[in-house]
Amino acid sequence: MQRNDKELWLSLLGAAVITAIYAFVVNWNHAVPAAGSLFGHLIGVLGFLLMLLTETLYSFRKRSRRARWGSMESWLQFHIFTGLVGPYMVLLHTSWKFNGLAGATTLLTVIIVISGFIGRYIYTRIPRALEGVLITAPGAQAQAVSLARARRTLSIWHAIHIPIGMALFVAAFIHIGAALYYATLLR
């Protein structure tokens, strides 16, 4: 099954625009912006908000039986776009320093993005329905078995992806709380 890759191209475009802005700030300051600088905080906060939207809105729409705003395909594209652009912004926020909890949070971010690519690959290989698979046709039984295997693989992937995402957000909230406490409240 082939899908439209619009969200990947938009993510690439978004990352290119963000990279151009980041390069301008680096050139302007003659240095990589510190994570605690105004620009560093701005890009980190915006990236985290995109990641939070990635998780909450898509999950809410997916699980809500009453909500009918937008197709699930559109929400999945939104999930992929924000799930790529947000982590990229958070990566730029790190100032290329990966120490302590912030480093562990960055590692979880990288793992969740890689896991997302794996899940997207698996998802695109699963037909949305069994229509077109005639059980009497030659090879149809193999197609049905292959479909069941792909759905089982997606289920296993999902059971791994979700807990990693939860660990990422717990670590991120602790990082944000610690940053606010040490950088703001202790001053």
Write out the residue range of the structural domain in which residue 29 sits: 6-185
* Low-confidence spans in the chain with pLDDT less than 50: 1-2, 132, 134
Residue 130's pLDDT is 52
Residue 133 within any structural domain of the chain? yes
Residue 107 within any structural domain of the chain? yes
CA distance 98 to 167: 17
With vertex at residue 13, the alpha carbon angle to CA 7 and CA 19, rounded to the nearest 5 degrees, is 135
Residue 110 within any structural domain of the chain? yes
Residue 2's pLDDT is 45
What's the first-to-final CA gap in the chain, in angstroms?
Answer: 56
Residue 14's pLDDT is 92
Taking only the tens place, the pLDDT of each residue in 38-82 is 898 899 999 999 989 888 887 777 777 776 777 777 888 888 899
Residue 1's pLDDT is 39
The answer to whether the CB of 90 falls within 8 A of the CB of 106 is: yes
The number of folded domains in the chain is 1
Residue 119's pLDDT is 85
Residue 173 within any structural domain of the chain? yes
Residue 156 within any structural domain of the chain? yes
CA distance 119 to 158: 8
Residue 1 within any structural domain of the chain? no
Number of DSSP helices (H) and strands (E) in the chain, helices first: 5, 0
Residue 128's pLDDT is 57
